[in-house]
Homo-oligomer: A and B are copies of this chain.
Amino acid sequence: PDIRDQLMRTPALHPRAPRDARFASVLVTNGDIDHIAGLLILREKQGFDLLATREIHDVLAANPLFAALDPAHVARRAVALGAPVEIAPGLTAELFPVPGKVPLYMEGETVDTELEGEQTVGVRLSAGGRDVFYIPGCAAMTPALADRPHGAALVLFDGTVWRNDEMPRLGVGAKTGARMGHMAMDGERGSIAAFAGLDVARKVYIHLNNTNPVWRPDSAERRAVEAAGWTVAMDGADYALD
């Protein structure tokens, strides 16, 4: 346990996921650092199923660091796209491809930022006849993707940037949202417009970059998002389905 304690010593590090939390499985939808680094600070000897696509498992396997997840306790299970799996009693998860890209640290000279395959996936969680969608990264709304959440009780969706060129405009980086594999909220091809006609009971933005003005509760952008029927997630939020 000592090796993780350096990171976890501050109770504030993970205030809503204490190290004594028990869970049956961890489902990873992307191989990038923000999606997988948390695996390194779990309590040693904690048993769970680690679910991901084969390609994301390959990314983990290529990093010896993750051998800290003792195979005697952590079962790595590959999940095929389009094949629902039961991840807890009565709760199934189905993975589907979402336009995105390989993790930053695997980028080569050229990067396909709207790759559809096993590197970036969304999840349909189903229980008691209701569906929840978790899509933390999405580079573009394709017709196939727009068809999926029909009738969903809740969609948690990529809210990385408000505008595609937000970071260059603020002078904090050269990358656009598109370059990072994320569609903007605003604009003709943004997520607000993309979801405007979809039959979804609740829409929540997650995965906001720190440059996104929607963070500010008093911003015009926050008002615009809320006027369009969205809310903005907070760390540790719980959602009760009607």
Contact = CB atoms under 8 A, between A and B. Distances in A.
A32 interface: yes
B37 A41 contact: yes
Pick the most buried of A2, A34, A62, A208: most chain B CB atoms within 10 A of its CB.
A2
A68 B104 contact: yes
Pick the most buried of A40, A45, A235: most chain B CB atoms within 10 A of its CB.
A40
Copies of this chain: 2
B67 A64 contact: no
Interface string A23-51: 00000000011111110110011000000
Interface in A136-168: 160-161, 167
Contacts of A241: none
A21 interface: no
A207 B5 CA distance: 8
21 contacts: A2-B160, A2-B161, A2-B182, A3-B33, A3-B103, A3-B104, A5-B34, A5-B209, A6-B207, A7-B33, A7-B38, A10-B12, A10-B235, A12-B13, A12-B15, A63-B63, A63-B65, A64-B106, A65-B105, A67-B105, A67-B106
Given A2-B207, A3-B34, A36-B65, 9 more contacts: A1-B209, A3-B32, A4-B33, A7-B37, A9-B235, A12-B13, A33-B65, A63-B64, A65-B65
A237 interface: no
B33 A210 contact: no
Interface size on A, as a range, is 35 or more
A123 to B, nearest CB: 16
Contacts of A41: 33, 37
Contacts of A35: 6
The 7 closest A-B pairs by CB, nearest first: A6-B34, A12-B12, A67-B105, A68-B105, A63-B63, A2-B209, A3-B32
B34 A37 contact: no
A227 interface: no
Contacts of A7: 33-34, 37-38
